A = this chain, B = another copy of it.
C-alpha cells in the first residue's frame, strides 16, 4: 500500500498546527461530506470509493521521511511530535459503497478531533469525488446501452495511472461488464477483455493474413477489428472468409469490432452481410468516441450493435470531469455538548445544513420503490405507524404525506473510535448492490433526457435550526457593520 499521509492540502497542516498551538487540536468536530449537484445530467449519484477510503485510513502514518520534509517546510518539533504519533481515532459513518445518493445528503460523516478531521479531508474528497463520478457516468452509459454489455476501454486517456485503475473499478461498479485495464482486473478481480489493435492488422502483409493469424491463436475467442482499411469492402469480407474457415474447423466465431466511421450505417450493413453469410450469432462491437448521448442516439437509429467499448468519455467523464463533493463543518463539541455550525453564503445553495445529521430513505411498505429522502438530526425518530408529512425546504407549501411506508437509515458505522467496524466488500458485491439500488428508482429518475428530480427534504426540526441560524448570522452581520 502506498503511503498517502501527505496527500493533503497544505492548509490542513497549517490549520492543524494552529489548532495545536491554541490547545484546540483535541476538540471534537463533525464534518459532513456531500455534493451539491449530480454529475452527467443524472438525477442521482452512485457513491463509490469507500473501500479506498478504508485503505487510506488503515495506512495513514507519517514516515520519518515525511516528518523531515515537514520540518524543512518550517513546522516545529511540537507539531512534528504530534504528527509522528498520528493514528486516526475518530468515528466515521458512511453510506454503503454503491448507494444511490442525492445532492446535500451526507455521504460520510466524520466525528473526530479537529486535528484528525482536517488531515483526512482532502484525500477523502479526492477518492470519493472521482470514483462516484465515474460510477455515475458508467451507470448513465449502461442505461443508454439498454442492457448491452459496456466495456471500459479508457486507460490510455485516463488522468494518470490511478484514474485508469480506480476509474475501471468505478466503471464496473456503475454497470460496465469489464475493462481493458489488466492491472485493475488483477487488483479488483474484475473481468478483462481485449482482442487486437490496428497495429496487429498492419503488421501482416494483408488484412486476411492478420485475421487468419489471430483466428489461429484464438480460435474459440475470435473477434476481429474490421476497419483498418475499409470496413465494408475489405474488413468484413475478410472476416467472413476467416469465420467460414473457423467454422469448418468446428469453432464458432465471436464477432467483429468497428472503431470508426458511421456506426449506425456500418453496423446495420455489417449485420445484413453477416446474416446473409450465415453468421447471425456473431456480435458487433462498436468503439469510436462513444458516450451515453451517442449510444442513446444510435439506439434510436436502431444501430445493430451488441456491445459497446467506451474509452475517453467514460474514464474522464467528459462534459463533467469532476463531482464537486465538499466537506463542511456541521457541529463542534463544547463542554461535552455538540454545538451546530453553519457556513453562510450569499448563494443560498451554498449555505450548509447545520448539526449532527442522518439521512432517511422512505419506501412504500409493500415494494422496493424509493419515495423520497429526509435529512434529519441524529436524535430525531420517525414513528412509521403514523403518517409522515415532508415539505420542500424552499417552497414549503409543497408537501407530501406518506401513510403506508417503511424507512431506512442510509448512514452506517464504518469506523468507531478509530476501529474499522464494517466488513470489507468486493467489487462483485458492490456491483450487485448497485443493481438493487438502481432497481429501487422509478424509470423516470433514470431516463436520458431531463430525468425527474428525486425529492430530498429536511425534517422540520433541521429546517428550523437552519433558518434560525441564518437569521442569527444576518443579525450579527448587520450589528457588526
Contact = CB atoms under 8 A, between A and B. Distances in A.
Given A10-B185, A163-B163, 13 more contacts: A2-B161, A4-B183, A11-B196, A21-B217, A73-B192, A126-B157, A127-B161, A129-B157, A159-B167, A159-B316, A203-B332, A228-B343, A260-B347
A481 interface: yes
A159 B156 contact: no
B195 A11 contact: yes
Given A182-B6, A316-B322, A15 B200 contact: yes
A162 interface: yes
Contacts of A195: 11, 14
A442 interface: no
B344 A324 contact: no
Contacts of A216: 21-22
Sorted from nearest, which 4 A-B pairs have the closest CB atoms? A11-B194, A10-B194, A160-B162, A162-B162
Contacts of A4: 161, 183
Contacts of A317: 321
Q: How large is the interface on A (under 10, 10 to 19, 20 to 34, 35 or more residues)?
A: 35 or more
A443 interface: no
Contact of A160 (B122, B163, B327): B163
- When all copies of this chain in the complex are counted, the total is 2
Interface in A427-481: 473, 476-477, 480-481
A344 B229 contact: yes
A31 B198 CA distance: 12
Interface in A164-184: 164-167, 180-183
A263 to B, nearest CB: 13
A404 interface: no
A29 interface: yes
A155 B160 CA distance: 13
Given A7-B164, A198-B343, A260-B350, A324 B15 contact: no
A307 to B, nearest CB: 15
B162 A161 contact: yes
Interface in A255-288: 260-261
A198 B352 CA distance: 12
B316 A321 contact: yes
A17 interface: yes
B163 A213 contact: no
18 contacts: A4-B183, A6-B183, A7-B155, A14-B217, A17-B217, A21-B216, A118-B197, A130-B160, A157-B322, A160-B162, A161-B162, A198-B328, A199-B329, A202-B343, A230-B477, A233-B477, A261-B346, A316-B321
Contact of A14 (B29, B122, B162, B194): B194
A69 interface: yes
A124 to B, nearest CB: 9
Contacts of A118: 197, 199
A222 B129 CA distance: 31
Interface in A124-152: 125-127, 129-131, 133
A477 B346 CA distance: 65
B156 A125 contact: yes
Nearest to A29: B203
B18 A214 contact: yes
A208 to B, nearest CB: 9
Contacts of A133: 159
Contacts of A9: 153, 155-156, 180-182, 194
B194 A161 contact: no
Contacts of A228: 343-344
A66 interface: yes
Contact of A66 (B186, B316, B342): B186
Contact of A156 (B121, B344, B350): B121
